[in-house]
Structure 1
Amino acid sequence: MTPPRITVALSVHNNAAYLAEALDSILAQSFGDFELVIVNDGSSDASPAIIDAYAARDARIRAVHRRNSGLIASLNHILELARGEYVARMDGDDVALPERFARQVAFLDAHPDHGVVGTRVLRITETGEPKRGAAIDHPLSAESVTAALESGPLLCHPSVMMRRDLLRAVGGYRPAYRHCEDYDLWLRLAERTRMANLPDRLLLYRYSGTQVSNRHVLVQHYGAAVARQVRIERLAGRPDPSDGWQELPPIEALDAAFGRDGVARAVRSEVVTGILFDPPSLAGAGLPVIVAHLADTHGHPAGRVPGLWRAVARLARTGRPLAAVRLARALARDRIRR
């Protein structure tokens, strides 16, 4: 049997409210030479029944039901099963517009030096209406994607299509980079291939306050900062210290893990910068990171992340007065020590 051109990689965990719309959008693609591999990652809602109903009526769908293991394990399992030359990512609450696959396949066929192509997207609300500031303008050319490697955003993960063999060659997704597994992947792929985005807005990206990107801001910034330090090691010709890690070490252990000084200090600075506008992180596990950052930069104000006092006001405005007081006290103690 001739393998399909595309394997669509879809991991589902409790997406019942939106799953039928997502599946309909895949099955309505103008480019139909694909297999859709769906991993039901331990859903407790109606998602398994929806998946089985669609699989029963379309032979292109391959359904896998397993206990909850997380997105990374699910995507790596799909990568093992994939028969397509290209792997197209999709999430169970998003909507692919009809020409998405056709335009991405045409681009990759015409650009053999590119291993990844995403699309620009439009954000929608939980109920499907355009979200304020709906357009997300990811960089288009390979050069502009490379220029944005350190700052992002690079690519919208559920919009990308990738060469399967290249994805396997870099080891797929790595479990240590939970909640920022895509960014770690982009950094590794950038060392082997060119990546770009189509200017067309070919995905409706559903935005909700409960999605992973909003619930794990601190973890995401920590993982991304570590991934950037790991990239420094690779580019310097040194081994990747995170190869084989199942989870990231605590910040204070990073210098030992990397075998050089300054890694923990650099990562703390990046994390503090990243959480300044996220009151839940500031009020929770982010405060000890800020305190450690103040100690890191004691006597070296040039290395201090600006805006920490404004973060105190931000906490107070968002109904977190106790957290505001704790951060203010930490900043005041640091000022006295100086």
Structure 2
Amino acid sequence: MSGPKVSVALPCFNCAATLPAALDSLLAQTLGEIEILAVDDGSTDDTADVLRDYARRDGRVRPLTLPHGGIVPALNAALAAARAPLAARMDADDLCMPERLEVQARLLDERPELGLVGCRVRFGGDRAARGGYAHYVDWINGLTAPGDIYVNRFVESPFAHPSIVFRRELADRLGSYRAGPFPEDYELILRFLEAGVRMAKAEAELLVWNDPPERLSRNHPSYAVDAFYRLKTGFLARWLARNNPHHPDVLVLGAGRTTRKRADLLLEHGVNIVAYADIDPRKIGRAVNGRPVLHRDQLPPAGECFCLSYVGSRGARDDIAAFLRERGWKEGMDCLMVG
């Protein structure tokens, strides 16, 4: 073997209980030309012992050790040490299907226009207890084509982060993971998409995405809802400046207090909200901060303004998208779903 085809970035922090199963699933891949860059992020449990044991048994496991600094330094250390042209993500509490890396590497080989691919994932939590997370998994699993990923990227992150594989040169050219008061995975996806990187997903479920109580996205302030909105607002404002034919004017669907709070973040970036639209009769006909609240049936025809839907409640987003499509509005051209 001249060298690995895929380098797997696997951050590890106090994960001795789940790490063996994750490593076993990687070492059982049908694609054998891999290396596993397992970064021990200053663990205080038996994580280091587990990694040493696996490295003795299989040279594809390459442990790296850092003082505890969090996921971003761990991921960037893995990318800096990587030798393969493709970089894959994996978490120490998730599981890969045996064909995962082979399928994703083949997809990148066969479609050179793609820079990053994910896969559909299987929710590894309790659907009854964690209905919101399960609904999110269903949503991302419905986005496989580049166009669907492109127009929906301002709703939420369109990928389960541990499921992605990307061309490593992208990190060299566009920058690797960045630390800040935002989710590092979503920032990377938005930054790559902004740079024109095309993305898709394998149709198969190739990763079990578990949902343990200590999951970072459930506990760290960088993954709070407001952090997501602050992050995506900057990217959205730049997208609008390039693509909204009526820039800086937009019309916002949704006139509730939470919707307005999130949409108002655009004002800091020079975007002008000309009006809101809603279906709640208590809001219609009023003015909010000098902006009229219309009934959505009063929307001008497609092409006369650009519409952003900030309504994110379950089912409402699909209803609004269908409403706009029926009236000739095209996502990415006349409107976007952003909430």
Q: Could you say whether these structures have the same fold, taking a TM-score greater than 0.5 normalized by the shorter chain as the test? A: yes
Is 1:147 aligned to 2:155, yes or no?
no
Work out whether residues 138 and 155 of structure 1, in 8 Å CA contact, stay in contact via their aligned partners in 2.
no
Query: For 1:234 and 1:122, how far apart are their aligned partners in 2?
Result: 34
Query: For 2:55 and 2:144, how far apart are their aligned partners in 1?
Result: 35
Superposed CA offset, 1:213-250 (max 9, x none): 2223675333322322332465448xxxxxxxxxxxxx
Query: Structure 2: which amino acid aligns with 1:65?
Result: T
Identity of aligned residues (%): 32
* 1:174 counterpart (163, 167, 178): 178
> Matches of residues 30-179 of structure 1 in structure 2 within 5 Å?
30-125=30-125, 133=134, 136=138, 137-178=141-182
Query: For 1:219 and 1:105, how far apart are their aligned partners in 2?
Result: 29
Q: How does the TM-score come out when normalised to structure 1? A: 0.67
Work out whether residues 41 and 74 of structure 1, in 8 Å CA contact, stay in contact via their aligned partners in 2.
yes
Query: Structure 2: which amino acid aligns with 1:12?
Result: C
SS at match of 1:117: strand
User: Structure 1 residues 299, 306: CA separation in 2 closer, same or farther (over 3 Å shift)?
Assistant: farther
**Which residue in 2 is equivalent to 1:183?**
186
Structure 2: gaps spanning 5 or more residues: 243-264, 272-287, 295-309, 313-339
Query: Structure 2: which amino acid aligns with 1:103?
Result: V
Query: Structure 2: which amino acid aligns with 1:94?
Result: D
Query: Structure 1: which amino acid aligns with 2:82?
Result: A
**Aligned residues, how many?**
251
Measured after TM superposition, the shift of residue 167 of structure 1 is: 2.1
Measured after TM superposition, the shift of residue 16 of structure 1 is: 1.3
Query: For 1:131 and 1:30, how far apart are their aligned partners in 2?
Result: 32
**Which residue in 2 is equivalent to 1:262?**
267
Query: For 2:43 and 2:148, how far apart are their aligned partners in 1?
Result: 38
User: Structure 1 residues 131, 119: CA separation in 2 closer, same or farther (over 3 Å shift)?
Assistant: farther
SS at match of 2:217: helix
Q: How does the TM-score come out when normalised to structure 2? A: 0.67
Work out whether residues 7 and 82 of structure 2, in 8 Å CA contact, stay in contact via their aligned partners in 1.
yes
Work out whether residues 184 and 224 of structure 1, in 8 Å CA contact, stay in contact via their aligned partners in 2.
no
SS at match of 1:91: coil
Query: For 1:57 and 1:131, how far apart are their aligned partners in 2?
Result: 37
Query: Structure 1: which amino acid aligns with 2:109?
Result: D
User: Structure 1 residues 110, 218: CA separation in 2 closer, same or farther (over 3 Å shift)?
Assistant: closer
Query: For 1:265 and 1:75, how far apart are their aligned partners in 2?
Result: 34
Structure 1: gaps spanning 5 or more residues: 238-259, 267-296, 308-338
Measured after TM superposition, the shift of residue 263 of structure 1 is: 2.1
Query: For 1:94 and 1:165, how far apart are their aligned partners in 2?
Result: 26
Query: Structure 1: which amino acid aligns with 2:214?
Result: T
Higher normalized helix content (fraction of residues): 1
Query: For 2:270 and 2:218, how far apart are their aligned partners in 1?
Result: 25
Work out whether residues 123 and 208 of structure 2, in 8 Å CA contact, stay in contact via their aligned partners in 1.
yes
**Which residue in 2 is equivalent to 1:244?**
none
SS at match of 1:3: coil
Measured after TM superposition, the shift of residue 302 of structure 1 is: 4.7
**Which residue in 2 is equivalent to 1:5?**
5
**Which residue in 1 is equivalent to 2:334?**
none
Work out whether residues 5 and 86 of structure 1, in 8 Å CA contact, stay in contact via their aligned partners in 2.
yes
Work out whether residues 229 and 263 of structure 1, in 8 Å CA contact, stay in contact via their aligned partners in 2.
no
**Which residue in 2 is equivalent to 1:257?**
none
The farther-off stretch of 164-173 and 209-218 is 209-218
Higher normalized strand content (fraction of residues): 2
Measured after TM superposition, the shift of residue 298 of structure 1 is: 5.6
User: Structure 1 residues 101, 148: CA separation in 2 closer, same or farther (over 3 Å shift)?
Assistant: same
**Which residue in 2 is equivalent to 1:15?**
15
Query: For 2:293 and 2:219, how far apart are their aligned partners in 1?
Result: 31
Work out whether residues 138 and 154 of structure 1, in 8 Å CA contact, stay in contact via their aligned partners in 2.
no
SS at match of 1:189: helix
Query: For 2:311 and 2:266, how far apart are their aligned partners in 1?
Result: 23
Work out whether residues 181 and 222 of structure 2, in 8 Å CA contact, stay in contact via their aligned partners in 1.
no
